[in-house]
Structure 1
Amino acid sequence: MSTTRQIVCGHCGRINRLPAERAPQDARCGACHQPMFTGRPIEVDETGFDRHVASSDIPVLVDVWAPWCGPCRAMAPMFERAAQQLEPGVRLLKLNSDNAPALSSRLHISGIPTLLLMRGGREIARQSGAMDARSIVAWTEANLTRT
């Protein structure tokens, strides 16, 4: 009997079960048939955030940002580059704090941009301030090996 991993589709939000031995970068959603991974972060609202964090068996890296924030806008292309390197081992999400104030409060976001690394439904690391792509990847990998 093979083991499976649950991964949430970034297009339709359906939970997919992938055999552990199957390469996730080639996987397509069983519901919408879109690629499960595109090498790009996924914009989420509160519902999408909760679904990815609670239902995915892979770690989730969240960029909490706002459109009026200069450092957030400067970091956006860096986060995109990091997605190309970290997927499919990590799901990257972008959460606009202006559109999700209750979630930002629940997450205790006091400054942006803030990166949250989540695994198994819980936060395992947090970093505030803009970072370049290499630093985002290094920080993520370092924190995944510690826990």
Structure 2
Amino acid sequence: MAVTEAVKLTCPTCGQANRVPVARLSEGPKCGICGTLLLDGQVAELDASTHDKITRGDGLPVLVDYWAPWCGPCRMMAPEFAKAAKTLAPAARLMKLNTEDHPEIAVRAGIRGIPALILYRGGRELARLAGARPAAEIVAFVRQHTGG
């Protein structure tokens, strides 16, 4: 019996780790516990626990937007970030973390200004991008650093 290559995808809703065969990534995989779509091209909001699980262990690239509700450039970039999420799915996942609600994560990640984008893969940081960006720049940034 052949071993099927799979990637670990953590559900942003319930935090459950899911193993998804690489060949089925474009078929709309769902969380085995809560049924949340794992690669639907939507931006998921993270809490501290799911942030750590996803950035430390997911098999696909994850771009996290560190933002706050009072930040004008953050709000201005939100629709562009959403467009980039649709473009990059299912090759990468885009997530947001509210630094006002989770300042300890912002401190640990070394966030000095927002919006700040950090690209993770396999438990390590690949690259950072500061400031509000259009969707095309966000997509180019992820592809440049992931070979996609």
Whether contact under 8 Å (1:60, 1:118) holds in the other structure is yes
Q: What is the aligned-residue identity percentage?
A: 42
The equivalent residue for 1:59 is 61
TM-score (norm 1): 0.93
Separation in 1, partners of 2:125, 2:111? 13
The equivalent residue for 1:5 is 7
Query: What is the CA-CA distance between 1:25 and the residue it aligns to?
Result: 4.0
Query: What is the CA-CA distance between 1:48 and the residue it aligns to?
Result: 1.2
The equivalent residue for 2:41 is 39
1:50-89 CA-to-partner distances (Å, cap 9, x unmatched) read 0111221111100001111110010001001110011111
1:108-144 CA-to-partner distances (Å, cap 9, x unmatched) read 1001000000111111100111100111101111121
Separation in 2, partners of 1:60, 1:23? 15
The equivalent residue for 1:72 is 74
Whether contact under 8 Å (1:64, 1:114) holds in the other structure is yes
- Matched residue pairs, number? 146
Where does the alignment leave 5 or more consecutive residues of structure 2 unmatched?
none
Where does the alignment leave 5 or more consecutive residues of structure 1 unmatched?
none
Whether contact under 8 Å (1:86, 1:137) holds in the other structure is yes
Runs of 4+ in structure 1 off by over 4 angstroms are none
Q: Could you say what secondary structure the match of 2:30 adopts?
A: coil
Separation in 1, partners of 2:124, 2:91? 17
Separation in 1, partners of 2:88, 2:27? 11
The equivalent residue for 1:133 is 135
Separation in 2, partners of 1:131, 1:23? 27
TM-score (norm 2): 0.92
Query: What is the CA-CA distance between 1:12 and the residue it aligns to?
Result: 2.1
The equivalent residue for 1:108 is 110
1:93-118 CA-to-partner distances (Å, cap 9, x unmatched) read 10111111111011110010000001
